[in-house]
Amino acid sequence: MAATRFLKTAQGRSIAYHFHSGKGPTLVFLGGLKSDMEGTKAIHLQAWAKARGLGFLRFDYSGHGESSGQFEEGCIGDWHEDTLATVTALTTGPLLVVGSSMGGWQALLLAKAMPERIQGMVTIAAAPDFTEDGYWASFSAAQKAELETQGYVELPSDYMEPYRISKRMIEDGRNRLVLRDALDLPFPVRCLQGTADTAVSTETALRLLQHARCTDMRLNLVKDADHRFSDEACLRLIEISISELL
């Protein structure tokens, strides 16, 4: 495995990444909240892309993995800036974006920022607007008060240690919502969602499907698949979805 490289952004962040060039479009993998670029899906897809001569990019948002910063200090807008900086600096030409969980929201923000470069998109348990519709909507009055007084709340996770969710993340998320106003996706989109996902509901997947303006958008529900969506059958389905869009 090649050594991790680092990109310094205009905001002064150091973003860890792995990239190899190839024929277009370049596959860009956008990971989830508190995930890193060493996850099963990212590593698998890099090997899959390389075997087919395709360019591939995976990276850690600031506060994640090997990149600089603390997770608790970050927000959706920071990670969008990281995505824009990394994609712009390292890739040229058409992109095929694969976004997992929070990375699905980041993929949609990237599509709003540079729709002309995106050839297709695959989302895996996409979680657009989760800071508002998931976190804020479910907070109790006590949690909302705690957010005001100490600046964060801690939430349990089925997959790792508790998340510390900051007031800044909630407030910034409101400036990045994609399910309220028009969402134009002028390229084919394939959405994958497990029915046993306890982090992102099938209702969220259906809401995205219904809200987006896209002439070629499909949702594939996989019975009993969980949020990781990384067993052999799920990885194969991701490969098939990408292949459809190449």
User: CATH code at 216?
Assistant: 3.40.50.1820
Helix (H) or strand (E) holding 86: helix 76-90
The rounded distance, in Å, linking the Cα atoms of 225 and 195 is: 6
Whether 13 maps to a domain, the answer reads yes
pLDDT of residue 191: 98
pTM of the model: 0.95
The rounded distance, in Å, linking the Cα atoms of 160 and 60 is: 17
The secondary structure of residue 168, as a DSSP letter, is: H
Residue 6, pLDDT above cutoff 90: yes
Percent of the chain with pLDDT over 70: 98
**68, 1 Cβ separation under 8 angstroms:** no
pLDDT of residue 162: 77
pLDDT of residue 37: 96
Q: Find the angle CA(209)-CA(230)-CA(43) to the nearest 5 degrees.
A: 110
What range does the domain containing 241 cover? 5-129+184-245
Whether 88 maps to a domain, the answer reads yes
Please state the domain count of the chain. Answer: 1
Inter-axis angle of helices 40-51 and 232-245, to 10 degrees? 50
Whether 18 maps to a domain, the answer reads yes
Residue 157, pLDDT above cutoff 90: no
Whether 93 maps to a domain, the answer reads yes
pLDDT digits (tens, 9 = 90+) for 10-23: 999 999 999 999 99
- The band of 160, judged by pLDDT with boundaries at 50, 70 and 90, is low
pLDDT digits (tens, 9 = 90+) for 95-139: 999 999 999 999 999 999 999 999 999 999 999 999 999 999 999
Those residues with Cβ within 8 angstroms of residue 112's Cβ, 6 or more apart along the chain or in another chain: 178, 183
pLDDT of residue 159: 65
pLDDT of residue 166: 95
User: 50: exposed, middle or buried (C-beta count within 10 Å: 0-12, 13-18, 19+)?
Assistant: middle
Reference 103, options 29, 163, 155; nearest CA is 29
| Strands of 118-124's sheet in order across | 5-8, 14-20, 54-59, 23-30, 95-100, 118-124, 189-194, 217-222
Whether 63 maps to a domain, the answer reads yes
Counting every residue, how long is the chain? 246
Helix (H, G, I), strand (E, B) or coil at 181: coil
Whether 91 maps to a domain, the answer reads yes
Percent of the chain with pLDDT over 90: 94
Whether 159 maps to a domain, the answer reads no
Residue 1, pLDDT above cutoff 70: no
Reference 27, options 112, 106, 122; nearest CA is 122
Whether 138 maps to a domain, the answer reads no
pLDDT of residue 183: 97
| pLDDT top residue among 11 and 24 | 11
Number of H helices, E strands in the chain: 9, 10
**15, 85 Cβ separation under 8 angstroms:** yes
pLDDT of residue 164: 87
- The band of 163, judged by pLDDT with boundaries at 50, 70 and 90, is confident
